[in-house]
Amino acid sequence: MATNTINLSPIHSTSSLRSLSFRSSQNAPSLSFYSHPKPSLTFPSISLNKSKNPTKPRAFTTTITSAHKNLTETELIAVPPLPNEVNEKFPSDAGVYAVYDNNEELQFIGISRDIAASVTVHLKSVPELCSSVKVGVVDEPDRAALTQAWKSWMEEYIKASGKIPPGNETGNITWVRQPPKKKPDLRLTPGRHVQLTVPLEELIDKLVKENKVVAFIKGSRSAPMCGFSQRVVGILESEGVDYESVDVLDEEYNHGLRETLKKYSNWPTFPQIFVNGELVGGCDILTSMYEKGELAPLVKK
């Protein structure tokens, strides 16, 4: 019989927990639940009462006996159909949450720094699996407390059902937010030893006119090779701009680009940013526009 392994990344974010075995310099916290008011709803809240007398470090115990509001006793809250209504029903606090499908089958137990935001993301990505949710707000939400609360719910479910929630199995990435994959940089030519049938100026012209935003940078977007290019990449990505990047230092696939581009744009330095086929400028201009709030309207036109 195949054995399932637990996915040890319950946090719904790009930063996942590396391990669940950690040590505390104090006694294991006792967890007590109390009502956490929210419009017409109450959420169990896990508060940590740390012992005043620190003893020698010891591992946290895995079973929490003092929690009188466990997973089965926690109220199941229906998820509203529209993502923008989630904030009205769920807290924006840190804690644990358990997601159930239409058949009230548990799909995933997660940790979040903002439960409402996590539920919203799940509702958008897997609406068919996100019908109702149980919430446990953690009162002092350090990583240890959050993980401990998650472990207690996980163990309770595994003990009762004999299985791991499907979304928590290793390899299941349905519920864990994946970092966006970086686009590859564009190459203007098949290689420096290939004879071009079209002048490089024409290739540049075609490129900037066929793509909304093009950044000619030193290095790649994943590893810019100068501070100015790094800043430009940072600004474009923080604005969520869908842009194409071209590495002007790539002499293999963009041979002669630097000098040709300087003539084409009548601009002597890099990076260079084009929007709708027009040169916007370099790092200084882009930074200035970004700081004044002029960039977003331009790139989203």
The residue (of 10 and 282) whose beta carbon lies closer to another protein is: 282
Contacts by 21-26, CB closer than 8 A, 24 or more apart: 21/59, 22/59, 22/60, 22/144, 22/147, 23/57, 23/58, 23/59, 23/60, 24/57, 24/58, 24/59, 24/60, 24/144, 25/54, 25/57, 26/50, 26/51, 26/54, 26/55
Residue 269 falls in which region: left (phi positive, over 0), alpha (psi -120 to 50) or beta: beta
Q: How far is the CB of 118 from another protein (least distance, A)?
A: 41
**CA gap 61, 156 in Å, rounded:** 14
Please identify which residue in 31, 67, 214, 283 interacts with another protein, judged by CB under 8 A: 283
Q: Does 282 bind another protein (CB under 8 A)?
A: yes
The residue (of 41 and 226) whose beta carbon lies closer to another protein is: 226
Q: How many residues bind another protein (CB under 8 A)?
A: 15
Q: How far is the CB of 267 from another protein (least distance, A)?
A: 7
E strand intervals along the chain: 23-24, 30-38, 41-49, 58-59, 77-78, 95-100, 106-112, 132-138, 213-217, 244-247, 272-275, 278-281
Q: Does 150 bind another protein (CB under 8 A)?
A: no
Cα distances from 210 to residues 147, 232, 274, in angstroms, run 49, 21, 11
The residue (of 48 and 289) whose beta carbon lies closer to another protein is: 289
Residue 269 DSSP class: S
Please identify which residue in 146, 279, 295, 299 interacts with another protein, judged by CB under 8 A: 279
Q: How far is the CB of 235 from another protein (least distance, A)?
A: 15
The residue (of 38 and 231) whose beta carbon lies closer to another protein is: 231
Site string for another protein, 219-248 (x = CB under 8 A): -------x-x--------------------
CB-CB contact of 133 with 100 (8 Å): yes
Enumerate residues 6+ apart whose C-beta is below 8 A from 76. Answer: 100, 104, 132, 133, 134
Please identify which residue in 162, 268, 293, 297 interacts with another protein, judged by CB under 8 A: 268
Q: Does 267 bind another protein (CB under 8 A)?
A: yes
Q: How far is the CB of 221 from another protein (least distance, A)?
A: 19
Q: How far is the CB of 262 from another protein (least distance, A)?
A: 9
Q: How far is the CB of 244 from another protein (least distance, A)?
A: 20
Please identify which residue in 142, 201, 251, 284 interacts with another protein, judged by CB under 8 A: 284
77-78/41-49 β-pairing: unpaired
The residue (of 195 and 266) whose beta carbon lies closer to another protein is: 266
Q: Residue numbers of the site for another protein (CB under 8 A)?
A: 226, 228, 266-269, 279-285, 288-289
